[in-house]
Structure 1
Amino acid sequence: MLEAVIFDMDGVIFDSEALVISTWKQVADKYGISGIEDTCMECLGTNSEATVRIFQKNYGKDFPYAVYKKEMAELFHEQAAGGKLPKKKGVIELLEYLHYRDIKVGLATSTREEVVKKELSEGGLFEYFDEIICGDMVKRSKPEPDIYLEACKRLQVSPENCYGIEDSYNGIRALKGAGMHAVMVPDLANPTKEMEELAECILPSLLEVKKYLEEVV
């Protein structure tokens, strides 16, 4: 029984993670920060607090993360604001299908609520979601399952009857921990043996997810 589908946002709905890394690299080049791409990859799927911890682990407790993040965010929004952030292939088709089949739709993203609502609204996608849970609404970040369990609670559905769509390792771990059906649609992170074991399936695009779910419903 399929009661709901819950999406991650960055790298699943929007093609945003490559732009995040690109703008971080601009800041890193300016200030001579090494290994920024590897650090960004380590942060995929985590909320802002977990991201700070990863940066401090890699660059030291005195690393002025907030200063550099502000500069990076300004560069990001210059290129993404006003609906310019590109959507992933098949997202509209999948959302329309779920709406047509009267299947509940949720969003569980590690990004802050203010940014999430802005990007969804500017991208014309906000109204598709019955519930939106953001990284600053739960205490523990992915890979812990909290955000997905909260999404299921708000949607009033059982985790075992829900599919989650993720691109990151931390996201797939969170889905599995929540007891949901985990679907991986890779973006920047290639599937590993661990992901093959945790995910119910690994599909190349949201169009393929739509075909997969058509067989489930």
Structure 2
Amino acid sequence: MIKAVIFDMDGLILDTEKLLVKYWCQAANEAGFPMRREHALNIRSLARKFAIPYLQGIFGEEFDYVKIRSRRMELMKQHISEHGLETKPGIAELLDYLDSKGIPAAIATATDIQRTEDYLGQVGLLGRFSRIVCAAMVENGKPKPDIYLYAAEQLGLPAGGCMALEDSPNGVRSASDAGCVTVMVPDLTQPDEELYSRIFAKADSLADVPEIIERINS
């Protein structure tokens, strides 16, 4: 029985993963490090404590994660100020469905609370979530399960009573290891054999999620 739904944000609710990939690569290359798309894809939703050794393992210890990340954030902020944010298809309909069923919605994101609230506010969705949990609120961010376990705790539910919606491999690993009913809604990465073993279902868009919930709860 699904009693709550926990959403990732970037790449699932907001069409921002393409910006993260683009501007991670630009910021790193400006600093003299030849980051490619595949490197940026691998750090989506990855907590800093795991991203730093991953990137320094590729580019060397001189890779200044904090400085390059700051530049990436600056580039993204400029892009968003000029072009705004786009939501992913089906989010409004899914939230309306959850409201109609009395199923609470929460956020579990690697993005900090200030930017999370700012982004959701910009697209008119801030008031649609009963809880917002960010990686800084737990000891270990994604791909560890802490953030989903804490989000479920905040909802007053066991993780197994929550559906987790994720678009990235690191997010899927986090949610599935927490014991959530995990549904992948791919954005820039399709599930491979490992991810298929972790998910309950794959949805082509958020608009397909109500049918999955109905199947489980019927």
TM-score bracket, shorter-length normalisation: over 0.9
CA RMSD in angstroms, aligned pairs only: 1.7
1:82-135 Cα deviation digits (max 9, x unpaired): 881110110111011111211011111111112111111112111111111001
How far did 1:48 drift? 3.1
Distance 1:57 1:170, change over 3 A: same
Counterpart in 1 of 2:59? 59
Identity %: 34
1:178-202 Cα deviation digits (max 9, x unpaired): 1110100111112101111110001
Q: TM-score, normalised by structure 2?
A: 0.93
Once the two structures are overlaid, the 10-residue window that deviates more, 45-54 or 165-174, is 45-54
- The aligned amino acid for 1:34 is P
Indicate whether 1:138 and 2:138 are aligned: yes
How far did 1:210 drift? 2.2
In the alignment of these two chains, the number of paired residues is 217
Matches within 5 A, 1:18-57: 18-57=18-57
- The aligned amino acid for 1:7 is F
- The aligned amino acid for 1:215 is R
Query: Aligned equivalents of 1:165 and 1:143: distance in 2?
Result: 14
Once the two structures are overlaid, the 10-residue window that deviates more, 161-170 or 39-48, is 39-48
Q: Is the 8 A contact 2:25 2:37 kept in 1?
A: yes
Secondary structure of the 1:111 match is: coil
Counterpart in 2 of 1:129? 129
Query: Aligned equivalents of 1:93 and 1:81: distance in 2?
Result: 26
Q: Is the 8 A contact 1:176 1:198 kept in 2?
A: yes
How far did 1:7 drift? 0.5
Secondary structure of the 2:142 match is: coil
Q: Is the 8 A contact 2:97 2:210 kept in 1?
A: yes
Query: Aligned equivalents of 1:48 and 1:32: distance in 2?
Result: 20
Q: Is the 8 A contact 1:106 1:131 kept in 2?
A: yes
Secondary structure of the 1:186 match is: coil
Query: Aligned equivalents of 1:117 and 1:19: distance in 2?
Result: 18
1:125-183 Cα deviation digits (max 9, x unpaired): 11111111001111112121110000000000121111100111111111111111010
- The aligned amino acid for 1:157 is L
Deviation above 6 Å: which 4+ runs of structure 1?
none
Q: Is the 8 A contact 1:152 1:158 kept in 2?
A: yes
How far did 1:23 drift? 1.6
Matches within 5 A, 1:155-194: 155-194=155-194
Query: Aligned equivalents of 1:64 and 1:169: distance in 2?
Result: 24
Q: Structure 2: 5+ residue runs without aligned partners?
A: none
Secondary structure of the 2:132 match is: strand
Counterpart in 1 of 2:207? 207
Q: TM-score, normalised by structure 1?
A: 0.93
Indicate whether 1:91 and 2:64 are aligned: no
Counterpart in 1 of 2:7? 7
Indicate whether 1:68 and 2:54 are aligned: no
Query: Aligned equivalents of 1:216 and 1:8: distance in 2?
Result: 21
Secondary structure of the 2:164 match is: strand
Q: Structure 1: 5+ residue runs without aligned partners?
A: none
- The aligned amino acid for 2:147 is I
How far did 1:75 drift? 1.1
Q: Is the 8 A contact 2:25 2:35 kept in 1?
A: no
Counterpart in 1 of 2:113? 113
